[in-house]
Amino acid sequence: MKFKSIMLILLALFVIQGCGKDEKNEINETNKISEASEPSQKSDQSSIEKFNQYVDAYNDINKWFWPFDKGPDNSLKEYKDQDFNNGANISNPSIFLSTDAMTRAIENVKKAQTMETSDGKFAQIDEVGKKFLAIAEPLLKQATDIKPYFDSKKYMDDNFAFIKGQNKEFVDKWSQFNVVYHELGSAISALERQNRLDEIKYHKDNGNYRAASLKQSLLIANDLITVISESKDPKTDAKVATLIADLDKELANLKKEIDSNNDDKKSSYTSELDQLNRILGSARSIKANPNDNDYDSMIREYNNMIDFLHMFKY
């Protein structure tokens, strides 16, 4: 069973958040968090900004289809299902592509490409970014020409003659774009996973076990959603069962860490714990009886968490 809902990617919440000069260790107030040097802080910030530009580009495409959960692949399929040779059978012909979202994505990738960082971890994603632009810009140009044709219903005057002449090239370009879109997502996910692991280590090294457990839980939840979305049968998938058990165990640890800290952040951590438990509950329901409703609920909870974490300070 293949689920199709869209999961947004977390924008970078790197360890630079913990580098304030007046900030102290949550567990041991006598042990201050290590301060980064000014050049190091600038380097970290440039990496964060560059990563977030790529994430914005990817999420621009995701949000283009939200909340209909189509995704670029399903949207292309719906476009291709329109038989322009039998136009009378098409009740509401559409381009099924947002030129606004495509424009924003291209702008964000271009910005990311111009940002320089001192480390080499962006080499792969920069190469994908170049490929993305080479494919996305010609697609946008053609889509910009085609969109007014559908919006103004000119196809009623020429019986789809204009789009028939454009269609093969447009479909070919869109198909190539979907491939590089997935490549960009994979490159972002690989870098994001390493960043999350680095952040978990940072929090642990500085005694902030509550933040480390929250980020570990989120990482497991992300893996669980990915495995479920790719699983042929979540009911019998051993990976699904293992990740459910892993998330359950980590959430118990997170609750213990939350209960041991009575500060002004406790309610926010508790709220995140509640959302993670709802994700876990949906995963258990899917394992027992795979269905789209529980999967969509799981995706919504995850995306709500991502939105909250953009504002959350550990």
Q: How many domains does the chain have?
A: 2
Highest averaged pLDDT of the listed ranges 29-38, 58-67, 134-143, 216-225: 134-143
Pick from 160, 193, 226: which residue ends a domain?
A: 193
Q: Is residue 93 located within the same domain as residue 162?
A: yes
Does the pLDDT of residue 135 top 60, yes or no?
yes
pLDDT of 3: 54
β-bridge partners, 32? 24
Neighbouring C-beta atoms of residue 230, cutoff 10 Å: 12
The reply to whether 154 and 61 lie within a common domain is yes
Residues 170 and 84 in one domain: yes
Domain presence at residue 10: no
Whether the pLDDT of residue 21 is over 50: the answer is no
Q: Give the model's confidence band at 35: pLDDT under 50 very low, under 70 low, under 90 confident, else very high.
A: very low
pLDDT tens for residues 171-181?
Answer: 999 999 999 99
Confidence of residue 96 (pLDDT cuts 50, 70, 90): very high
In a domain, 50, yes or no: yes
Q: What is the mean pLDDT of residues 219-229?
A: 92
Q: What is the pLDDT of residue 28?
A: 28
199-205 long-range Cβ contacts below 8 angstroms, 24+ apart: 199/13, 199/14, 199/15, 202/15, 202/18, 203/15, 203/18, 203/314
Range of the domain at 216: 207-314
Instruction: Note the pTM of the prediction, 2 decimals.
Output: 0.72
